[in-house]
Structure 1
């Protein structure tokens, strides 16, 4: 099949997922195209059989960007277009429908104002009537377009799509994200007893990630050091929080990494204290490397991480519980080895990108008729 994927972001989990998928589609013999703003993910994809197109849609009302994407749709003439973020879903379906191009939209997450509609998530921002009109009714209309489908990376989001957005059940497909082969080919070193246990966090620094909870928990647990891999609007606030903590030397801001694999391999575990998640790529990547994970029971996380088998799960917002779980992992290298080994095998069996790609191709074939 000729598949054209559209993303309007240049970093983050959906970008990682779309890039891995584009490469795997090419590897499995499909004509794979990726439309994206400029970014470090494009060059590696282009060397692995993906046809890369640079086009930026800066906002939903960016008519110039939308016209550029429309020209690409006409030139490539894909069998299906796969839309990989919220803005891409809006613009891409508006363009694909009049051209009779089948479309698949992956709902990677929900707006902060509606986060608590997903089972397990905490409220993040106050919901207003216009938010429901904009995000629920508009999405419901778009999801009913002919020859279209909605993919969610977890069952929790599939329930949201059916129950709140109103997407017909036969158009919703829960297909978990997958990690690329490189993550599984080069695992992290096996855990050993160490004077300092290195705790990694990976992602975009924004309120939904509840990073102050993690900074506070690390400050309470002796013998651990936090490595914050990423950047974002919360960074200045976090730097001030760390500076005012009892142990400011125990947190390091590593910044955004084009390839975070080596930074994760240097860690002993990954912590993700978010208030809302779906199928986070950071967790999948860490688990693929054999790292034990400490995460919150939100959204699709319990579908991915089995408590005390692949990692430890705590309630979101429970800083005390987060600190106790962190102390347990830090003090028991054997537990970290057992959880990390199980996590790696779980990803290998259920969340590898080749498996994800085959499942998505079945969705493509269905909408393409």
Structure 2
């Protein structure tokens, strides 16, 4: 099959997912194309057999970018266009021409977060938000020769019950990681013999991620240090929380790192403090490295991380639960190691990118057929 992965972003979980899917499709002998912003994203697939095309829609009103994407898709003439972020989902289904489309719904707008089971409200919801987002998505999902994929059952519920997509068009396809994250063999990670237990957080600092909540919990767990990998509009508030809690000696800002795998592998714990999520790639990647997690029980997270098995789940915003969970694993190295081994085994068994593509190909064939 001739399949295009269309992205409009330059980084983030959907981008990682699109790149990995494109490479795996090429490895399986399909004619695999990646269309997106010029630069680092396209460079990542060099030598993998994926054909790259620089064409990007920078904003919702970027008409020149939309025309460039439309021209590129016409030139490729694909059997299927796989749309991998929200803007791509809009542009691709409107301008994709004759090609069948599959749109992976990686998440929902913040205003609609509570419609996903387990998620908390993130921002004030207005009636207009529901009318625009749900109404437009309902129209686009009704187009012929299109299907909707979701990485977790929680988002599939949202698509069926709130958007109104027919159940036959909604497919749960769990995200997967490459074997590079799992490593060649389940060798034990080297352990530090001295110093504090190290937790790592990876993401974009924005309100939904609740990073100040995490800082306040870490402040009450002696012997735990926190490495924050990422940047974003909330950084000033996070820095203020560090100053207010006096944790400057235990919280380190690493900034944005294109490949955070080294920091993740060195960590004793992975932490995810969000008020709303779908199926975060950073969590899957950390678990693949054999790192246990403390994470909020939101969206699709409980579908990946089982409480008490691969880590601990806490209620978002529940400070006491956060302190208790972090303290329990900080003080128990044996339990951390057992959970880390279970985390790696779960990802290896259920969340490889090979599993993801094996599930996607029949969907591609269905919409293209």
* TM-score (norm. length: structure 2): 0.97
User: Which structure 2 residues correspond to residues 49-198 of structure 1 after superposition, within 5 A?
Assistant: 49-96=49-96, 99-185=97-183, 189-191=189-191, 194-198=194-198
SS at match of 1:308: coil
**CA contact under 8 A between 2:83 and 2:101: conserved in structure 1?**
yes
Aligned pair 1:330/2:296, yes or no? Answer: no
Listed as ranges, the gaps of 5+ residues in structure 1 are: none
Q: Which residue of 1 aligns with 2:25?
A: 25
SS at match of 2:228: strand
**CA contact under 8 A between 1:116 and 1:123: conserved in structure 2?**
yes
* Distance (whole Å) between structure 2 residues aligned to residue 238 and residue 308 of structure 1: 29
* Distance (whole Å) between structure 2 residues aligned to residue 307 and residue 199 of structure 1: 18
SS at match of 1:45: coil
* Distance (whole Å) between structure 1 residues aligned to residue 310 and residue 297 of structure 2: 13
* Distance (whole Å) between structure 2 residues aligned to residue 88 and residue 307 of structure 1: 34
User: Which structure 2 residues correspond to residues 260-271 of structure 1 after superposition, within 5 A?
Assistant: 260-271=260-271
SS at match of 1:248: coil
- Deviations 1:29-82 (CA, angstroms, capped at 9, x unpaired): 111111111342321212211111111201122110011001111111111000
User: How far off its partner does 1:130 sit?
Assistant: 0.9
Q: Which residue of 1 aligns with 2:212?
A: 212
**CA contact under 8 A between 1:4 and 1:81: conserved in structure 2?**
yes
**CA contact under 8 A between 2:25 and 2:32: conserved in structure 1?**
yes
Q: Is the deviation greater in 49-58 or in 106-115?
A: 49-58
**CA contact under 8 A between 2:55 and 2:72: conserved in structure 1?**
no
- Deviations 1:314-340 (CA, angstroms, capped at 9, x unpaired): 101111111110011111110011100
**CA contact under 8 A between 1:197 and 1:223: conserved in structure 2?**
yes
Q: Which residue of 2 aligns with 1:284?
A: 284
SS at match of 1:249: coil
User: Which structure 2 residues correspond to residues 201-240 of structure 1 after superposition, within 5 A?
Assistant: 201-240=201-240
SS at match of 2:107: coil
* Distance (whole Å) between structure 2 residues aligned to residue 329 and residue 195 of structure 1: 15
* TM-score (norm. length: structure 1): 0.97
- Deviations 1:261-284 (CA, angstroms, capped at 9, x unpaired): 111112111000110111100100
* Distance (whole Å) between structure 1 residues aligned to residue 292 and residue 174 of structure 2: 20
Q: Which residue of 2 aligns with 1:259?
A: 259
**CA contact under 8 A between 2:5 and 2:82: conserved in structure 1?**
yes
Q: Which residue of 2 aligns with 1:296?
A: 296
* Distance (whole Å) between structure 2 residues aligned to residue 238 and residue 364 of structure 1: 43
* Distance (whole Å) between structure 2 residues aligned to residue 263 and residue 41 of structure 1: 21
* Distance (whole Å) between structure 2 residues aligned to residue 160 and residue 365 of structure 1: 25
**CA contact under 8 A between 2:156 and 2:172: conserved in structure 1?**
yes
Q: Is the deviation greater in 53-62 or in 321-330?
A: 53-62
SS at match of 1:220: coil
SS at match of 2:203: strand
* Distance (whole Å) between structure 2 residues aligned to residue 354 and residue 32 of structure 1: 15
**CA contact under 8 A between 1:192 and 1:333: conserved in structure 2?**
no
User: How far off its partner does 1:258 sit?
Assistant: 1.1
**CA contact under 8 A between 1:184 and 1:289: conserved in structure 2?**
yes
* Distance (whole Å) between structure 1 residues aligned to residue 256 and residue 65 of structure 2: 26
User: How far off its partner does 1:192 sit?
Assistant: 5.8
* Distance (whole Å) between structure 2 residues aligned to residue 248 and residue 309 of structure 1: 32
Q: Is the deviation greater in 62-71 or in 178-187?
A: 178-187
User: How far off its partner does 1:190 sit?
Assistant: 4.8
**CA contact under 8 A between 1:227 and 1:253: conserved in structure 2?**
yes
Q: Which residue of 2 aligns with 1:309?
A: 309
